[in-house]
Amino acid sequence: MINVTKSFLPPLDEYTRYLEGIWDRGHLTNHGPLVFELEDKLRSFFGVKHVFLITNGTVALQIAIRAAGLKGEVITTPFSYVATTSSLAWEGCKPVFADIDEATFCLDPDSVKNKITPETTGILATHVYGFPSAVEALKEIADSRNLTLIYDAAHAFGCTYKGQSLASYGDVSMVSFHATKLFHTIEGGLLLTNRDDLAHKISYMRNFGHNGPEDFFDAGINGKASEFQAAMGLAVFPYLDRILSLRKARSDQYRTELAGVDLLIPSIPAGLEFNYGYFPVLFRTEADLLKVKTALNAYQIYPRRYFYPSLNTVNYVERQSCPVSESLSPRALCLPLYPDLKETEVTMICRILREAMGRP
């Protein structure tokens, strides 16, 4: 069976070495030394002032929305994982959907501008597949209207855009460390910010609102990461270069073997050092996509429809029209891509895909 992704596991003894330390100290969670060690590594890796390891990416997004004080309307993208939209709804904000740019799959700044009302308090944009949102245009819009700009940078680990880590743009960003992501802590997420005021709020909000054992700043939630999560991150971290180069090799192979097939392979945007986190392809029609998906499934190969359906159509939001997203979403498919994926497996996937498209 070949899934769209497969978790990277470091050698077991490298993980158990961290576990031995946890057993020695008896410190299992609550801001332990491994969490601090991983946060230190990630702060310099991303080049931001503050990072916070959080129990998962979705809770991290919810904390970011709270810390930024978003309420009323928040302009967001219909083309993302459902957690982007559901986090807003969960926090009592109204998701207002702007449309996406068909070249990058990310929010179209002109469409964002058109959706601003007096009720708008923020923008929540996703760097889809690790492709950069229009960071300069969105910053200009946010700054000129006094809106907070939050990025769902779940896919952006290891992406560098115009000389700085993609996850360092915006007022605050979230990177997901779920087991299926490029870098992971089993479950986990990271909040990144250069703003001291947001950092302070995040620090107490992820810890029940504590300001000392018997003193509370404000309402909080339990967003802490455990030592076991941090241990996994520390054990995976030394393999990053290898993970990235294996992903690049398989991506390059897909591009070569799919050349001439009647589908669009999005090109890597200029100025981006890419992480090869996903290999998306865009079919001309949904019927083509379904044909290919069925053919691959017959061989127990499971690509995923990232992202479908377009989130402006889920049943708990006010329906708003986003023609570009609604056109791309039914036609976008992510092919299997992970460090262990073999060259022969990519060749097989491409052969099945070409045959399904009637192109041997």
Binds ligand PLP by CB under 6 A, chosen from 5, 62, 86, 176: 176
Q: How far is the CB of 174 from ligand PLP (least distance, A)?
A: 7
Using CB under 6 A as the binding rule, the residues of this chain from 49 to 78 that contact ligand PLP are 56-58
Helix axes 33-46, 12-25, angle to 10 degrees: 130
* Nearer Cβ to ligand PLP (155/206): 155
| Helix or strand run (H / E) with residue 37 | helix 33-46
User: 71-87 in b/e burial notation, b at 16+ Cβ within 10 A?
Assistant: eebbbbbbbbbebbbbb
Answer positive or negative: Cα dihedral of 318, 319, 321, 327.
positive
Q: How far is the CB of 57 from ligand PLP (least distance, A)?
A: 3
Q: For the CB of residue 216, give the shortest distance to ligand PLP in the complex, in Å.
A: 26
Least distance between ligand PLP and beta carbon 303 (Å): 15
Per DSSP bridges, beta strands 189-193 and 263-264 are unpaired
Q: Among 35, 75, 83, 335, which residue interacts with ligand PLP (rule: CB under 6 A)?
A: 83
User: Scanning residues 266 to 305, which ones bind ligand PLP (CB under 6 A)?
Assistant: none
d(CA 236, CA 9): 7
Among 76, 80, 85, 207, binds ligand PLP (CB under 6 A): 80
CA torsion angle for 96, 102, 104, 109 (degrees, to 10)? -40
Is the Cβ of residue 176 or residue 353 nearer to ligand PLP in the bound state? Answer: 176
* Residue 189 contacts ligand PLP per CB under 6 A: yes
Residue ranges in 124-163 that form contacts with ligand PLP under rule CB under 6 A: 126, 152, 154-155
The CB-of-256 to ligand PLP minimum distance in angstroms stands at: 27
- Please state the closest distance from residue 53 (CB atom) to ligand PLP, in A: 12
- Cα 43 to Cα 53, 165, 192, 196, 226, distances in angstroms: 10, 11, 8, 14, 18
Omega of the bond leading into 8 within 30 degrees of 0 (cis): no
Query: Is residue 229 near ligand PLP by the rule CB under 6 A?
Result: no
Range 219-223 contact pairs with CB under 8 angstroms and sequence separation of 24 or more = 221/59, 221/62, 221/63, 222/55, 223/54, 223/55, 223/59, 223/60, 223/63
Give the nearest distance from C-beta 32 to ligand PLP in angstroms: 20
Interface with ligand PLP includes 84 (CB under 6 A)? yes
> Is 100 among the residues that bind ligand PLP (CB under 6 A)?
no
Contacts of 321 (CB under 8 A, 6+ apart): 312
Which residue lies nearer to ligand PLP by CB, 62 or 111?
Answer: 62
> What are the residues binding ligand PLP (CB under 6 A)?
56-58, 80-81, 83-84, 126, 152, 154-155, 176, 178, 189
